[in-house]
Each structure stands twice: as C-alpha cells, then as structure tokens.
Amino acid sequence: MSRNGRLPRSRTVNRVLPLVATVLGLGAGAHVTSAASLPSGPPAARAMSFATLVARVEPDVIAVRVSKVEAPAPSGGVAHNDFTRLDEQTSGAGNIIEAGGSGFFVSPDGYALTNNHVVEGAMSIQVKTTDGHIYSAHVAGKDPKTDLALIKVDTNRRFSYATFADHPPSVGDWVLTIGSQFGFDNTVTAGIVSGHGRNIGVGPYDDYLQIDAPINRGSSGGPAFNMKGQVVGINSAIYSPCGGSVGVAFDVPAATAKFVVSGLKEQGRVLRGWVGVHLQTMTPELASGFGLSKAEGVVVDAPVPDSPAAQAGIRAGDIIADVDGAPIKDRPDFGRRIGMISPGHQAKLRILRDGNSKLVALTVAAKPDAIEAVVNTSPVETAALEPRIVLALAPADHGALITSVTPEKLAAARGVKAGDVVLSVGRTAVANPGQVRQQLQALRRAGKQTVLMRVRAGSAIRFIALPLEQVALTPQDERQIQAWTPADPPNGGPN
C-alpha cells in the first residue's frame, strides 16, 4: 500500500521481471491436509472447494514490504522480452521506492523464503502475517542464480511453517497459490501444473515449473501448494505481453528451493557441486559421429586439469549419459544435477566410451567462485544454414590451422572460425592438412554418415559434426575443405 492509502500502481516492463510478492508464511509443515479430505474428481464431475486447504496453510504465508533505492531503467537487449517480473512498486521521496512481494515461513523460528529480486537492495524489510502483525526482518542469505532469498523475522515468536514436497508434481496436478497480488494480501488462486523443466533464460539453473494459476504483480516469492499442503514451487515470473496474468506462470521447483534454503541457513550462501568438465549437448549430428542410435547425454570436450573429472579418468570424447541413475537431457541439466550435490559427496556418472558403458565414481568439489555459468550457445545446435562453407587449412602445432573461412557468419554457425585448429577427424588425431584429407577419405570408405572433428579455439576445445556426404576437398587446393548443404549439392541438382 502507498502512503496515501492507495494500492501501488503496477509498472509494466516488457522483460523478465520476477513477481515481487509479499512473503506469506506457509504453515504447511505444521498443517498437512489429508489427501482424502480434499476433492479429487474432475471439476466437471463434482463441486471443487479448496477452503479446508486454504484454512490450514494460509497462516504460514506472509506479505513482504521493502524500501529500496530505485534501480536505473535497463538499457538495450531486453525491451521485447515478454517474460515479466511482478513487482508492486510505489514511488517515495527522492529515489526511494516501496516495493512489495510475498513469501512463506520455512521454519518455526522465523526464517522465510522469498524471491531475491523482492529484497535485493532493500534498506528495510517488513513482513505482515495473516493475523495482522507486522515485523521487521533482515536478509539471512541470498542466491541470485535461482532468484531466491532467505529472510529472518526479528522476533522470538514461533510461527507455523510450510514444508517442501518430496516429489515433483505431475503435469495436470492441482496447485494452489497464495500471495499479495496487486497489494491484496492473502489472495488465493488455483490452477494446474502445465509443464516441467522450463528454461526462460533468466539464470544458469533455470528449471521452472509452469503453472496456469493466475499470478500477478505482488506474487513474487509466494508459494504454490499441492493438495497435501506441501510447497511444490515458488512463484517467480510470468509470460505476459501485457504485464498481467495470461495463465503462463513459472515457479522455482521445491527441490531447488529446499537445497538453496539448506545452504543459506547453514552457511549463509549456496555451495554448489562441480566436477570440472567442458561439455556440449549431444545433437543428432554428434550422435551419428559417435556411432550412437540416438542423441542422449552430454559430450565431454575436455576435462579441467586436476579436477575431480580428470582425476577420475574422464576423457575428451566421453559421453555422460546419467548422473546417479538420472538420465541427462542436455548441458544445463548436467550442471543443475551436479550443482545440487553437496561438495564432498560422491557422484556416479555413467560414461559411454568407444561403444562401451561404464560407471565412474568421483567426489564432487565445490564450484570455484571464479567460474561463471554461461548459456549454452553451441553452434552445432543452430539451423538455417546457407549453401557452403570453405575452410583453408595450413600446418600447425598438433593439428591443422584454419587460416580463413568463407562465409564467416555461416562458418560461425557451424562452430568454426579463422584461427581455430583442427585436432582430430573421426576420432583420429591429425597433424597437418594432408591428414585431414586422408581421414575424410577413410571415413567415406568406411560408410560413415557424419564426420566428427575436434577443434581448439583459444583455450577451449569442443567437438563439431558435419554430414560426411556434404564435406569434400576442393580439387584445386588440397588445403581447403568445402562443405555444402542439400540446397547446393556438389554436382548441382533440380531447381
């Protein structure tokens, strides 16, 4: 609420905006509703009521109000992003603004969870419980990578609190949300889980639940409950061309929140696991080059020297298929799974190497602070290529140097640029352009469909894959490799 008693005006920003919501302490931990007491049939078959569930968990939800210095308006790059953070903000004196969000208690001693963007830069924090009491609070720890923050209420009072679900919900399961939408505290909405594992590009560990419960400004940090009164997600962002709910909301999953809360409460920060491998997501082209029937797992470009992976014997060209029995979908999935293993604990990786499967056990280390997560922009995953690429090669130490590439934009889309060094072709090391030519001929005679090349770019090493029938050496200059797409076959084709 603003000082004049009016509700804060919503500020629509066409970008990824977390739902700055008031933290409402969720007492699901102390109050778990029996599943048998809740309606379970389809809505068309019976009247639905969440009243019993709401009465049990509502006391555990809180509203969060903060005073902070107004951040400067963003410039460039995000103006047309339709993901929206929902922060209720009201201008105050000078550059001081009042913002509101939501949250919930996670322990009886006054620790509560909310979104980091709700309390980021806060000069003061107040929380309001459902019985009308207002308390000051402070930040106990924050994790910007998942947009979560743990706050501590400054009182000795004991609170009812929420517990996290041990298992993720299924698509189609009911969820109930409580928050301070548009400044209206204790607003309850319901919907279903629409999807899992959504990556909306706001952080290195994106793995959002998608729900269709109405979520609006002021909901950030609020909980989404299952029908047992357990938290399955934390409301964080919506997709909205207009700034309001259109039924596409994104929640941090309970498993991630539970891991973050544990780290923030015990150490004041989150220590993530790290094994030390440079990776890329497996693609159909790479899978063909490795002789696999389907694209699964991640390809090791190179282990970091002296890392847990290197010490365990993991090599360039290994394929990591699963971690502790859980299949790996892509590079971000691997990073999330390893990141949620506490340093010092063991992990078992299933490795595919030369057609054989083996288990590799290693001890996970703490992720070095200097290592920054980057978005996987592996060029082999891009599409819409132009007709041809021509690479000029010259001798180099331990490989063949790419001296020029035409056209540069298309070559970059394939992951190649001038200055790169080809280290191997078809899993065989090459020392000069002539050996590149020989290996291409050998692969063709062997009936291979894809040529797999290992390329060094600066200090980074990665694999790239090209369909073998689209790669040839130009007869005029044996230093060149010419690649074309079906749009421009070597001998011409029908118009």
By annotation, the residues acting in catalysis are 117, 147, 220
Strand partners, 366: 273
CA distances (Å), origin 344, targets 46, 271, 297, 347, 367: 51, 11, 24, 10, 11
The C-alpha angle with vertex 16 and arms to 11 and 17, in degrees rounded to 5, equals 45
How many Å from the N-terminal Cα to the C-terminal Cα in the chain?
A: 67
CA contacts within 13 A on the Cβ side of 353: 13
456 Rama sector, left if φ>0, alpha if ψ -120 to 50, beta otherwise: beta
Contact of 220 with 118, CB cutoff 8 Å: yes
CA distances (Å), origin 32, targets 4, 162, 166, 340: 39, 9, 14, 27
Contact of 455 with 465, CB cutoff 8 Å: no
* CA 398 – CA 145 distance, rounded (Å): 39
Q: Is 459 exposed, middle or buried (CB count within 10 Å of its CB: 0-12, 13-18, 19+)?
A: exposed
- Of the candidates 64, 77, 75, the one whose C-alpha atom is nearest the C-alpha of residue 135 is 64
